[in-house]
Chain A
Amino acid sequence: EPEVTQTPSHQVTQMGQEVILRCVPISNHLYFYWYRQILGQKVEFLVSFYNNEISEKSEIFDDQFSVERPDGSNFTLKIRSTKLEDSAMYFCASSFGLGETQYFGPGTRLLVL
């Protein structure tokens, strides 16, 4: 069964550093998403992406965040200058279309020191 994959599974970085989290969505899916889950808190929507542009974003997704689909398979989330409060589990998801089920990857646990 096809699945969403994410790399790395864990990332530790220093405050102020840039990080790039990578995702490979399911191959025939057209919509891509990033969510985050701060430890002990709910899963929060960050951004959705379709047709090579952002279609929705939350108030969390400020100028330090960016997303990109650099090739036909990868979908990345970049955090330009990490802050301590960016420490969280970041989930990528994909769906075939609007109104279709979102399938989640296993997540990348980011720790900012």
Chain B
Amino acid sequence: AQSVTQPDIHITVSEGASLELRCNYSYGATPYLFWYVQSPGQGLQLLLKYFSGDTLVQGIKGFEAEFKRSQSSFNLRKPSVHWSDAAEYFCAVALNNNDMRFGAGTRLTVKP
């Protein structure tokens, strides 16, 4: 069955520390891959996306993600987290960007 898994429901990191949020997918073919961020009471903002080409994708706000076909993963990283990064992060996949499936989300808390 097609699925998107974010194994970590909640992650806490200290400000300035590095961050990695995990995302795994199960699809028959390589889908389009996305990371969105949702701040409390806000909509979904696109951080970055992978369609094809270079497997290391740079996004906004200093985020990057790496597509690893062998692991069916698309993990989100940031070298140094800021307090304003506290939010909910969603990995999403789509076979043709017409029907986007979201993971359950990872809530990020940033400690001072």
Contact = CB atoms under 8 A, between A and B. Distances in A.
Interface of A: 4, 31, 33, 35, 41-45, 48, 55-56, 58, 91, 93, 95, 98-107
B90 A43 contact: yes
B84 interface: no
Contact of B97 (A58, A99, A105, A106): A99
8 contacts: A4-B43, A42-B103, A43-B105, A45-B99, A91-B43, A99-B96, A101-B46, A101-B97
Given A42-B90, A42-B104, A43-B90, A102 B45 contact: no
B42 A106 contact: yes
Contacts of A43: 44, 90, 92, 102, 105
B43 A45 contact: no
A41 B43 contact: no
B98 interface: yes
A103 B98 contact: no
A42 B43 contact: no
B104 A95 contact: no
B41 to A, nearest CB: 8
Contacts of A31: 98
A68 to B, nearest CB: 19
A106 B36 CA distance: 13
Interface in B2-58: 32, 34, 36, 42-46, 49, 51
Contacts of A107: 43
B46 A45 contact: no
B100 A99 contact: no
